[in-house]
Amino acid sequence: MSAAPSINVDATALAAENEAASKVILALLRLAQQSTLYADNNQAQKQALEICASAVAAYSEASGRNLTIFFSDRAVYVGRRLLRANRNTYAAAEQLRELLGRMGVSQITIAHDVPLAELRAVQAAFGKLLR
Protein backbone atom coordinates (compact mmCIF):
# COMPACT_ATOMS: atom_id res chain seq x y z
CA MET A 1 0.00 0.00 0.00
CA SER A 2 2.95 2.34 0.31
CA ALA A 3 3.47 2.32 -3.47
CA ALA A 4 0.43 4.52 -4.15
CA PRO A 5 1.74 7.59 -2.28
CA SER A 6 5.08 7.46 -4.14
CA ILE A 7 3.24 7.39 -7.46
CA ASN A 8 1.28 10.47 -6.40
CA VAL A 9 4.46 12.16 -5.21
CA ASP A 10 6.17 11.36 -8.51
CA ALA A 11 3.19 12.65 -10.50
CA THR A 12 3.08 15.78 -8.37
CA ALA A 13 6.82 16.32 -8.81
CA LEU A 14 6.56 15.87 -12.59
CA ALA A 15 3.62 18.27 -12.75
CA ALA A 16 5.61 20.85 -10.77
CA GLU A 17 8.60 20.39 -13.08
CA ASN A 18 6.39 20.75 -16.18
CA GLU A 19 4.82 23.92 -14.77
CA ALA A 20 8.23 25.36 -13.94
CA ALA A 21 9.52 24.52 -17.43
CA SER A 22 6.55 26.34 -18.97
CA LYS A 23 7.21 29.41 -16.85
CA VAL A 24 10.86 29.47 -17.96
CA ILE A 25 9.91 29.29 -21.65
CA LEU A 26 7.45 32.15 -21.24
CA ALA A 27 9.92 34.22 -19.18
CA LEU A 28 12.69 33.78 -21.76
CA LEU A 29 10.39 34.81 -24.59
CA ARG A 30 9.24 37.85 -22.61
CA LEU A 31 12.90 38.73 -22.05
CA ALA A 32 13.53 38.52 -25.79
CA GLN A 33 10.44 40.52 -26.75
CA GLN A 34 11.13 43.31 -24.28
CA SER A 35 14.71 43.66 -25.47
CA THR A 36 13.59 46.03 -28.23
CA LEU A 37 10.84 47.85 -26.36
CA TYR A 38 12.64 49.44 -23.45
CA ALA A 39 15.98 50.96 -22.51
CA ASP A 40 18.31 48.78 -20.43
CA ASN A 41 17.68 50.76 -17.25
CA ASN A 42 13.88 50.66 -17.59
CA GLN A 43 11.95 49.15 -14.67
CA ALA A 44 10.11 46.73 -16.99
CA GLN A 45 13.46 45.39 -18.22
CA LYS A 46 14.69 44.89 -14.67
CA GLN A 47 11.45 43.17 -13.75
CA ALA A 48 11.69 40.83 -16.76
CA LEU A 49 15.24 39.89 -15.75
CA GLU A 50 14.16 39.18 -12.17
CA ILE A 51 11.16 37.13 -13.31
CA CYS A 52 13.36 35.09 -15.62
CA ALA A 53 15.97 34.46 -12.91
CA SER A 54 13.20 33.46 -10.51
CA ALA A 55 11.67 31.08 -13.08
CA VAL A 56 15.06 29.45 -13.68
CA ALA A 57 15.60 29.02 -9.93
CA ALA A 58 12.11 27.55 -9.52
CA TYR A 59 12.74 25.09 -12.37
CA SER A 60 16.04 24.03 -10.83
CA GLU A 61 14.38 23.54 -7.46
CA ALA A 62 11.56 21.47 -8.98
CA SER A 63 13.85 19.35 -11.15
CA GLY A 64 16.98 19.15 -9.04
CA ARG A 65 19.23 20.30 -11.90
CA ASN A 66 20.23 23.37 -13.87
CA LEU A 67 18.04 24.42 -16.77
CA THR A 68 18.87 23.06 -20.22
CA ILE A 69 16.54 23.65 -23.15
CA PHE A 70 17.19 21.85 -26.44
CA PHE A 71 15.29 22.87 -29.56
CA SER A 72 15.13 20.08 -32.16
CA ASP A 73 13.36 20.40 -35.49
CA ARG A 74 10.16 18.89 -34.17
CA ALA A 75 10.26 19.13 -30.39
CA VAL A 76 11.53 21.06 -27.40
CA TYR A 77 13.26 19.29 -24.54
CA VAL A 78 13.64 20.87 -21.13
CA GLY A 79 16.02 19.03 -18.85
CA ARG A 80 16.19 16.02 -21.21
CA ARG A 81 12.40 15.69 -21.03
CA LEU A 82 9.94 16.52 -23.77
CA LEU A 83 8.21 19.82 -23.01
CA ARG A 84 4.70 19.16 -21.75
CA ALA A 85 2.70 22.35 -21.77
CA ASN A 86 -0.32 24.17 -23.15
CA ARG A 87 -0.56 25.64 -26.66
CA ASN A 88 0.55 29.11 -25.61
CA THR A 89 3.75 27.70 -24.16
CA TYR A 90 4.39 25.60 -27.27
CA ALA A 91 3.90 28.73 -29.41
CA ALA A 92 6.35 30.60 -27.17
CA ALA A 93 8.83 27.73 -27.47
CA GLU A 94 8.50 27.85 -31.25
CA GLN A 95 9.22 31.60 -31.25
CA LEU A 96 12.26 31.01 -29.03
CA ARG A 97 13.46 28.23 -31.36
CA GLU A 98 13.22 30.63 -34.29
CA LEU A 99 15.05 33.45 -32.48
CA LEU A 100 17.81 31.21 -31.16
CA GLY A 101 18.09 29.48 -34.53
CA ARG A 102 18.81 32.84 -36.16
CA MET A 103 21.74 33.09 -33.74
CA GLY A 104 22.89 29.56 -34.59
CA VAL A 105 21.85 28.24 -31.18
CA SER A 106 19.84 25.05 -30.61
CA GLN A 107 20.52 24.56 -26.91
CA ILE A 108 20.67 26.91 -23.96
CA THR A 109 21.82 26.09 -20.43
CA ILE A 110 21.26 28.42 -17.49
CA ALA A 111 22.55 27.78 -13.98
CA HIS A 112 20.11 27.77 -11.10
CA ASP A 113 21.79 30.83 -9.58
CA VAL A 114 22.29 32.80 -12.78
CA PRO A 115 23.42 36.39 -12.14
CA LEU A 116 21.17 39.09 -13.58
CA ALA A 117 24.18 40.42 -15.52
CA GLU A 118 24.33 37.18 -17.52
CA LEU A 119 20.62 37.28 -18.28
CA ARG A 120 21.09 40.91 -19.31
CA ALA A 121 23.73 39.73 -21.81
CA VAL A 122 21.24 37.20 -23.23
CA GLN A 123 18.66 39.97 -23.45
CA ALA A 124 21.16 42.22 -25.25
CA ALA A 125 21.87 39.45 -27.78
CA PHE A 126 18.14 39.14 -28.46
CA GLY A 127 17.95 42.93 -28.81
CA LYS A 128 20.73 43.04 -31.41
CA LEU A 129 19.06 40.26 -33.36
CA LEU A 130 15.63 41.86 -33.34
CA ARG A 131 16.65 45.44 -34.14
| Tens-place pLDDT, residues 43-93 | 988 899 999 999 999 999 999 999 999 999 999 999 999 999 999 999 999
- pLDDT tens digits, one per residue of 4-44: 555 565 889 999 999 999 999 999 999 999 988 877 778 98
pTM of the complete model? 0.89
SS3 11: helix
Q: What is the largest CA-CA distance in the chain?
A: 59
* 70 CB burial (10 A radius; 0-12, 13-18, 19+): middle
C-alpha 106/C-alpha 111 separation (Å) is 17
Find, among 126, 117, 125, the residue nearest to 49 by Cα.
117
